[in-house]
Amino acid sequence: MKIAWIGTGIMGKSMAAHLLSAGHMLTVFSRTKEKASDLLARGARWVGSPKEASVEAEIVCSMVGYPADVEEVFLGTNGALHGMRPKTLYIDFTTSSPGLAMKIFEEAVKKNIAALDAPVSGGDTGARAARLSIMVGGELSAFERALPLFGRLGKTIVHQGGPGSGQHAKMVNQIMIAGTMMGMCEGLLYAKKTGLNPENVFSSVNAGVAASWSLANLYPRILKGDFAPGFYVEHFVKDLRIALDEAGKMKLVLPGLALAEKLYARLKSGGEGRLGTQALIMELERMNA
């Protein structure tokens, strides 16, 4: 199958690589060609714009950073929409706004193009292992058409409903992660303050009801002083702000989410936005210094 892939960041590059391994013909666009070098060495073809990447594609996929990036790569002057043919399929894996997902769907329909919003969860490790959770919004017929591709990238693939539903489901995911990260980092600070061995504490709590993906994967990184990004702080701030905006529209008061956004925003404003989300511990340590 001819697939266009737009965006080769931490997760996008691994996801695109799985499609190459499956034998698909991949045309790649990224703002920095060097980031696609591994894919190009394996046979992918690089082009100079999303529009050019999409001309011959049966499916166009994007995995970029921000809603503004999504809008540019699909609806912009050189966006994929202007290169795609009728009856092709667009899948956006970016965590973006539900409203933008609806806008993309509506614009795609005008050209007889199917569109799915399909944000993912699982971080860098899930992307590398093709074990992502994929939350999909859009028409059921388009979802069923995309299932073979989704199966190359993830293990949990759920159609959440109509356009924008995938993004709403991802907001639920990010709200829950924000609370989990707060609890994990505060628990670690408590353990250290009482003089407990944090590794021994990890062995106990990770085997009990406090167990979580964040605890299993990020707590050990914190103990090693490893703040390399599996998911950037600055992207998490973007996600939490989208969630707060959507909650506000529904008149939902979510104080835990608001506090997490405030603390992560401090990290970003302090020049630590390109660290991984486990860097929250650094902000909490400064508060307790």
Beta carbons of 44 and 26 less than 8 angstroms apart = yes
249 catalytic per annotation: no
Q: Which entry of 170, 192, 238, 249 is annotated as an active-site residue?
A: 170
Residue 90: exposure state from Cβ atoms within 10 A (0-12, 13-18, ≥19): buried
Beta carbons of 11 and 124 less than 8 angstroms apart = yes
CA separation for the pair 72, 132 (Å, rounded): 25
State the pairing for strand pair 132-137/120-121: antiparallel
CA separation for the pair 205, 245 (Å, rounded): 34
The catalytic residue positions are: 170
